[in-house]
Structure 1
């Protein structure tokens, strides 16, 4: 398709060739990031932790959702996180076409690269409110805002559904340790309520990736632990509003639409 497009008017040919070269450069740097992950030993150690966690969860993931990846075209850390995601999909045998991504910061070039990799782009900013609809799902959410995790839990708030989820992202234990309990319970009540039903394993520490994957853990929710929570835990299913939250850390849907338009222009 691209070659046919280059046969059009000269200006279109040049623009098409420049775009393809830009995509190829990003893909080349992405392959280099993957090779670094493999040669460092970090991926091998991380893959072992992922395999153990997935075996302990109710079902192996058959699909993946990624939030907050960032501008991987120019940011080495984001590019490394994308390379890790691609290795993860291969490890779990999740086809790229069953992995959906969203970040309002993606440029048109980055969106095109993701599509060339066979990945899907979510059309709208869900604010993390993605229902798994009965399919065992891995959520890859490295360095995302707390509200995104809270919204995700709210959207899937039942023991049967949560037990089919694995989340790779900011440590829930870390959130509990760093936040005053009254703030955690007021602003991020679903994180607070699920803590006792969560199993968590930190990704291994590696000097090369301290900033890229710091505070990152694998979380899963064993059905037996969830069923052991107090019955009233499941009674409140009110959608989070964050009226009293001073630092929300996520981009709301209306702002994301404006950001996406600016990135595309």
Structure 2
């Protein structure tokens, strides 16, 4: 008989200790300091998407520990965190609610309108979800409210299959040249899959075209509408 699994509260406490005392955490804070020198936006809330099951998947626990550390850095109380993942278990939901986080029940497919300055935490989500996030906030006013911790979006454009990016992430192709990104350190020794190829990113507003520019129009012919509906 396999050993009985420890409660999620105990496992998360251990993960937070592991992260706190790791050399990786020191490197992360160096990266965060460099990011904050370029990005003056101070997020007031968090949208956390695609975390995975905390009870079933170790990388999700480390990612949550990182998010909680970021929230302390930005002085964001946990009740200002909204989290959703369709794979959350009952144990996951109860644990997050115990932290006073808001656990959403509706799958918005990342279409969250950023009315206030927001940290969007989307580690290792699929390309269409990033595209949906940008689509629903496709204006200078809304994009100015976003700090994104997620995949290296430039990789999709540089090395991804062009047809796939054009069909599933047309707005990613548009916005990537206007992003300022700071890479997180790779290869966290205790859980290699937790933080690989992640970046903190924000939109360089001074470089964006004016609102009346063609840049802001969705090109139906190029398949953007199809991508947004998928």
User: Structure 1 residue 207: deviation in Å?
Assistant: 4.5
User: Structure 1 residue 52: deviation in Å?
Assistant: 3.2
1:234 aligns with 2:219: no
Q: C-alpha root-mean-square deviation of aligned residues, in Å? A: 2.4
Which contiguous aligned blocks of 4+ residues in structure 1 show a shift greater than 3 angstroms? 227-230, 237-243
Aligned in 2, Cα 1:237/1:91: closer, same or farther, shift over 3 Å? farther
Aligned in 2, Cα 1:207/1:71: closer, same or farther, shift over 3 Å? closer
Matched with 1:195 is 176
Could you tell me how far apart the structure 2 residues matched to 1:36 and 1:165 are?
29
Higher helix share: 1
Matched with 1:32 is 14
User: Structure 1 residue 181: deviation in Å?
Assistant: 2.9
1:219 aligns with 2:204: no
Matched with 2:80 is 98
User: Structure 1 residue 178: deviation in Å?
Assistant: 2.6
User: Structure 1 residue 59: deviation in Å?
Assistant: 1.8
Aligned in 2, Cα 1:64/1:76: closer, same or farther, shift over 3 Å? same
Contact 1:151 1:240 in 2 (8 A): no
1:81 aligns with 2:63: yes
- Using the size of structure 2 for normalisation, the TM-score is 0.88
Gaps of 5+ in 2: none
Contact 1:57 1:163 in 2 (8 A): no
Aligned in 2, Cα 1:219/1:67: closer, same or farther, shift over 3 Å? same
Could you tell me how far apart the structure 1 residues matched to 2:46 and 2:163 are?
32
SS in 1 for 2:120: strand
Which protein has the larger Cα radius of gyration, Structure 1 or Structure 2? Answer: 1
Contact 2:8 2:91 in 1 (8 A): no
Deviations 1:12-58 (Å, cap 9, x if unpaired)?
Answer: xxxxxxxxxx9x82111101111111111222321332343244235
- Using the size of structure 1 for normalisation, the TM-score is 0.77
Gaps of 5+ in 1: 1-21, 249-265
